Amino acid sequence: MTTGRVVNAYLEEARAECLRYLRNPGFLLPTLLFPSVFYLMFGILLGHANGADAPRYLLASYGTFGVMAPGLFGFGVSLALERDTGLLTLKRALPMPPGAYLLGKMCMALLVAAIVSVILLCLAVFLAGVSLPPSRIGMFFALEVLGVLPFAALGLLVGTLVKGQGAPGIVNLIYLPMAFLSGLWFPLSVMPAFLQSIAPLWPAYHLNRLALSAVGLGQGGEALHAAVLAGFTVAFVLVAARRLRRHG
């Protein structure tokens, strides 16, 4: 294949994946509505009662919560189902670049994460009265969009480990406890010391620390948090790629 046809194959697969998920209300609506409704309730209606910085703090927390879902569900559940139904085998038999399938799903996750971030930023700025300079808005947006990658890598790994019918339950068992244990729903300071000590084991904790820095509530250590997220992403992808080569 010529270079032009290879590039076009990647672009068409990415376009098809994005359209497929944007046309799927069962995936798109919960992914967009959960973080938005939670922020509307706790960040806007009840936020100022918890302090002037509460809307900013919850913007970071629910931003992290919102971008977890496209990676975990878009990769984990769909990959498990497509392995069971034979779609992944069919894709491998097609004359398309091997990486186009994964790149398409990654583009879908990035797109949905961008939509979630825009919705939350609009709620924060126009309804909650959060005042952020353009540089911080851009930093938060870029961070949340790229922050979907560790969860996409984790979803990829989960999709290689579980069967299709059990994938939604397994992903929820990872998604919801990780959000709670990372301090996205309640500040870690009010949680037991043991739970605080294990919070750094979760990717969501590190992304939330970076998100808090982006909105001006950081506590330092941003380089370390970014390095840990990169390490999580690489490790998950390597293990998942090995399983896909061996088990399909």
pLDDT (tens digit per residue) in 163-182: 888 889 999 999 999 999 99
Q: Containing domain of residue 82, as a range?
A: 3-247
Mean per-residue pLDDT for 106-118? 94
Task: Record the pTM.
Answer: 0.92
In the predicted model, is pLDDT for residue 52 greater than 90?
no
Lowest mean pLDDT among 21-30, 60-69, 120-129, 145-154: 21-30
Q: Calculate mean pLDDT across residues 55-63.
A: 93
Would you state the structure tokens that stand for residue 24, as one six-digit string? 């799927």
φ/ψ of 97, rounded to 5, equals -60, 140
Domain count, the chain: 1
pLDDT given at position 247: 64
CA distances from 87 to 12, 80, 91, 167 (A): 17, 10, 6, 16
24-50 residues labelled b (16+ CB within 10 A) or e (exposed): eeebeeebbeebbebbbebbbeebeee
- Residue 218's pLDDT is what? 85
Q: What percent of the chain has pLDDT over 70?
A: 96
pLDDT of residue 157: 92
CB 233 within 8 A of CB 149: yes
Overall size of the chain counted in residues:
248
Structure token pair of residue 13:
């697969």
Give the pLDDT mean for 205-217.
Answer: 95
Helix (H, G, I), strand (E, B) or coil at 14: helix
> What CA–CA distance (Å, rounded) separates 243 from 157?
8
**Distance in angstroms (rounded) separating the CA atoms of residues 105 and 112:** 11
pLDDT of 215? 94
At 12-36, the pLDDT tens digits run 889 988 998 888 888 888 999 999 9
Q: Are 207 and 200 in contact (CB under 8 A)?
A: no
